[in-house]
């Protein structure tokens, strides 16, 4: 894997080259506001980049007996697929229906199946925890969490957690957001936003 980027600066450059590090006033899926947003889809739209990042993330969990890779829709789907491809295991994704995370499309989790949960970006870890809880309710065993980018500032999941890049981007509660106070328009760029 010597052809793969390995340093945080090389990985960050991939995001910059794809114009995926956005500046403005963003509503994150966590409900927090931020002046910066990572639109991983702009990186993952390029299969060679998705493959490279997926291989790098998968390498952190190689030899751990992973049998399944699971991710929340929509942002984690490509990440899960690429990680699973390298680990040579199945890849599934979860979806929300009426605000509740679940499995659809005939996906199943086998009893005792050793599962790696992956995401594109972790901020508060809410979606990741929902997927972990679902996998465990269905009888699977979550043995690790992976993400392309960790902007949580040190979150713990109770299982090994590895990210390719750690970024310290500012987050604000809506009630104390300086961008709101300045009247800068709020944009929701994430996967939970639907556009006509």
Query: Could you tell me if residue 26 is inside a domain?
Result: yes
Q: Is residue 190 part of a domain?
A: no
Residue 135 counted as domain residue: yes
Number of compact structural domains in the chain = 1
Summarize pLDDT for 17-51 with one digit per residue, the tens.
999 988 899 998 778 899 988 889 999 999 999 99
pLDDT tens for each residue of 57-98: 999 999 999 999 999 998 899 999 999 999 999 999 999 988
Query: Which domain CATH number covers 49?
Result: 3.40.50.2020
Helix (H, G, I), strand (E, B), or coil: what is residue 173? coil
Say if residue 130's pLDDT is above 80: yes
User: What is the C-alpha to C-alpha distance for residues 111 and 181, in angstroms, rounded to an integer?
Assistant: 50
Tell me, yes or no, whether 14 lies in a domain.
Answer: yes
The pLDDT of 144-166, averaged and rounded, is 94
Q: Which domain holds residue 88?
A: 8-181
3 domain residue, yes or no = no
* Residue 71 placed within a domain: yes
Q: List Cβ neighbours of 73 (8 Å cut-off, separation of 6 or more).
A: 93, 94, 95, 96, 191
Give yes or no for residue 169 having a pLDDT over 90.
no
Kindly state whether residue 187 falls inside one of the protein's structural domains.
Answer: no
pTM of the model: 0.85
């Amino acid at each position: 894997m010597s052809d793969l980027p390995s340093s945080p600066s090389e990985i960050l450059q991939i995001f910059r080259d794809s114009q995926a590090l956005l500046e403005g006033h963003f509503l994150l899926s966590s409900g927090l506001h931020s002046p910066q947003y990572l639109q991983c889809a702009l990186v993952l739209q390029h299969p060679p980049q998705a493959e490279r990042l997926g291989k790098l993330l998968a390498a952190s969990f190689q030899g751990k007996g992973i049998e399944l890779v699971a991710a929340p829709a929509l942002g984690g789907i490509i990440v899960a697929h690429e990680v699973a491809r390298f680990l040579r295991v199945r890849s599934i994704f979860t979806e929300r229906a009426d605000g509740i995370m679940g499995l659809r499309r005939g996906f199943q989790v086998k009893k005792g199946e050793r599962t790696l949960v992956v995401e594109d970006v972790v901020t508060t870890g809410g979606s990741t925890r929902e997927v972990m809880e679902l996998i465990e309710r269905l009888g699977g065993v979550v043995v690790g969490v992976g993400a392309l980018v960790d902007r949580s500032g040190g979150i713990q999941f109770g299982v090994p957690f590895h990210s390719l890049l750690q970024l310290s981007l500012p987050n604000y509660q809506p009630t104390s957001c300086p961008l709101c106070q300045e009247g800068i328009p709020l944009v929701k760029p994430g996967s939970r936003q639907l556009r006509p």
